[in-house]
Amino acid sequence: MQTVILEGELGNRFGRRWNTSCDKLIDIFKLIECQREGFRQYMMECSDAGIQFDIKRGDTYLEDESEIL
């Protein structure tokens, strides 16, 4: 089990704390998408607007796109 924390606007809109047994980020995104209407649309709009997000696992920021997707 791991805890996913969404900070800032993401946390305000879609919930700050998520507990999951998912290992892959894509599965975590799918979990949130299924539970919170508008998550996928919001992420797509942010991408279109050039808004980027930092993803951190433990103390390490993920930079390699293959780790993220």
Q: How far is CA 5 from CA 21, 59, 63, in A?
A: 14, 13, 18
The pLDDT of 24-44, averaged and rounded, is: 94
Question: Residue 29 pLDDT > 70, yes or no?
Answer: yes
CB-neighbour burial class of residue 35 (10 A; exposed 0-12, middle 13-18, buried 19+) = exposed
Q: Can you give the pLDDT at residue 63?
A: 81
Length, in residues, of the chain: 69
Question: Residue 65 pLDDT > 90, yes or no?
Answer: no
Q: Does the reported pTM lie above 0.85?
A: no
- Please tell me the distance from the alpha carbon of residue 10 to that of residue 21, in angstroms, as a whole number: 20
Q: Can you give the pLDDT at residue 23?
A: 85
